[in-house]
Structure 1
Amino acid sequence: MPSIAQRFHVARRDARPLPDFPGTLPDTLADAYAIQEEAIGLWPDAVAGWKVASIHPDLRERFLAARLAGPVFSRGVYRVAPGAVAQVPVIRGGFIAVETEIGLVVGADIAPRPAPWTLAELLPYLASAHVAMEIAGSPLPTINDIGPMAVISDFGNNTAIAIGAEIPGWRTDGFEGLKTQMRIDGKLIGEGAAVGANGGPLDACLFLANHLATRGRGLGKGDVISAGATTGVHPLEIGQVAEAVCVGVPPLTVLLGARTAA
């Protein structure tokens, strides 16, 4: 019988929605990340970054974690110049949403190590910060409703990461006070801030480096880190246009298209 990772793999490859979680939901984070690792091995592309997301506060005590992570593959990284529009394909009938995020680009290899990283140690490894958009997506339309075990199992519910204009002054000024927005088809549907109750992009980066080390993984030069939703998770449909905004920086624009079988 195909494994959970194999079933997700085939559904993503065929651009086909799944009616329910393809197997028995894992009991622990370790089990869910084991499924994710198997799925990474099946996918015919190199990991080029990671998304970080918050675990709902009501579930953190149960899972002893406040964040989760999922891989971003090289063909799912879109670098978008100001004024350009990235066309990103998603699975019709699956989960489709967008999030305004802060994207961090790694400037030098970060090798895994047994001792936890500190933020002061990590900062020199980061090259730049950008307005970013996660295009969340899965063949399983109910993935977020099921919860973190399902999300982790399927690449963290990620389809793509778009990276836009660079945010100036972040290294000296930090991200405090940086306001963010999401617009869909020109309409403002969400507002927020780069730093929220769960911390900010640098906290997410620190979590990620230490989390990946427990899996024997590091980060490579040029990898992108999508550091968590700042205005919420916004469902939308194929054909709609989403704009991620960091106030004071040119907006990042994405048009969603329909994905076809690979």
Structure 2
Amino acid sequence: MSSTVSIAKAFHTARRKARPLSGFPGDLPTGLAEAYAIQEESISLWPDAIAGWKVAAIHPDLRAELKSERMSGPAFSQSVIQVKPGEIGEIAVIPGGFIAVETEIGIVLNEDIEPRTTPWTMPDLLPLIAGVHLAMEIAGSPLPTINDIGPWAIVSDFGNNSGIAVGAAIEGWDKGALDDLKTEMRIEGQTIGLGRAVGANGGPLDAFLFLVNHLASRNRGLKKGDVISAGATTGVHPIEIGQVAEAICDGCLPLAVRVTGRAASD
């Protein structure tokens, strides 16, 4: 069994059994290509269809070495949820693993995007967006030290993703509304992070452009209705099982999610 397969199977088993890992399950990938190979193997093992992707920034100090400013990971249909204002959604995480929440901007597609060899441009992609929404990523992995290890581990395990919640639509996203959009994260009613939709690394549309071209390089496309969670805007905020997080942005009612403990599955 190759190391790619054995690492993917270890992450798969840990996620399915809701069991934390004591360390990275094998030799750490030497670069992102190896990490994405593990991710691809893990996708092939997972018994659910992809319904979205998360995008995250790579720390500036690592970008030259890793030859990328961003990284990505899949989100699956059972953990991509729509939450109406005034309701509280639920997304499950692995007890004892890495658990955090992030206020993000979610992009929903209005048609399929097929992979191609010609690079996609922003004008190509803007007509393919059905809507832009307030969103929340629930970051999670059976490996509690995944963020400390860095992108090599994060990419290997589904991008350190446990789910994406999609909230209210952001009006005027195509008329510059994202440029100065203020964002916030609250946990149990307390503000723990403030930010903006667009930062030093660009904004949600830049993350979308990265993702489409990155997936094309893996001969992957996207489907109508897929959700792209386009990167943390206020930081990565640890949260305890049972707590409620609220993602907030200008002009939208809060998006509330309760983090629950995941039970083992077959």
2:113 counterpart letter in structure 1: I
1:127 paired to 2:130? yes
1-structure distance, mates of 2:168, 2:33: 36
Q: Does 1:101 align with 2:95?
A: no
Cα RMSD (Å) of the superposition? 0.8
Amino acid at match of 1:51: K
Counterpart Cα distance in 2 of 1:235 and 1:9:
23
In the superposition, the TM-score normalised over structure 1's length comes to 0.99
CA contact (8 A) 2:171 2:177 kept: no
The reply on whether 1:165 has 2:168 as its aligned counterpart is yes
The answer to whether structure 1 residue 90 and structure 2 residue 93 are counterparts is yes
CA distance in 2, matches of 1:185, 1:174: 28
Q: Is the aligned partner of 1:7 residue 2:10?
A: yes
Task: Give the secondary structure class of the aligned counterpart of 1:213.
Answer: helix
Listed as ranges, the matches of 1:112-123 within 5 Å are 112-123=115-126
1:257 is displaced (CA, Å) by: 1.1
**1:145-160 equivalences in 2 (<5 Å):** 145-160=148-163
SS in 2 for 1:239: coil
Deviations along 1:184-215, whole A, 9 cap, x unmatched?
Answer: 00000100000000000000000000000000
Q: How many equivalent pairs are there? A: 262
- Aligned partner of residue 37 in structure 1, secondary structure: helix
* Distance in 2 separating the partners of 1:16 and 1:134: 21
Q: State the identity %.
A: 66
Alpha-carbon distance in structure 1 between the residues aligned to 2:138 and 2:162: 6
- Measured against aligned partners, the alpha-carbon deviations of 1:223-252 in whole angstroms (never above 9, x if no partner) come to 000000000000011011100001220110
**Which residue pairs with 2:36 in the alignment?**
33
| Cα offset, 1:174, TM superposition | 4.1
In the alignment, structure 2 segments of 5+ residues that lack a partner are none
Number of the residue aligned with 1:216:
219
1:246 aligns with 2:257: no
Please, what TM-score do these two structures have when normalized by structure 2? Answer: 0.97
Quick one: distance in 1 between partners of 2:123 and 2:41?
Answer: 33
Following the alignment from structure 2 to structure 1, what is the Cα–Cα distance between the partners of residues 160 and 93? Answer: 12
Q: How does 1:135-150 map to 2 (within 5 A)?
A: 135-150=138-153
Q: Say if 2:71 is the partner of 1:68.
A: yes
> How far 1:87 moved relative to its partner?
1.4
Within the alignment, does 1:178 sit opposite 2:187 as a pair? no
| Distance in 2, Cα, partners of 1:10 & 1:152 | 17
> Which secondary structure does the structure 1 equivalent of 2:216 belong to?
helix
2:42 is equivalent to residue 20 of structure 1: no
1:123, 1:29 → 2: CA distance?
Answer: 28
Give the C-alpha shift of residue 173 in structure 1.
2.3
Q: What secondary structure does 1:38 align onto?
A: helix
**What amino acid sits opposite 1:93 in the alignment?**
G
Q: Which digits, 9 at most, give the CA deviation of each residue in 1:11-33, with x for residues without a partner?
A: 00000000000000000111100
2:30 partner SS: coil
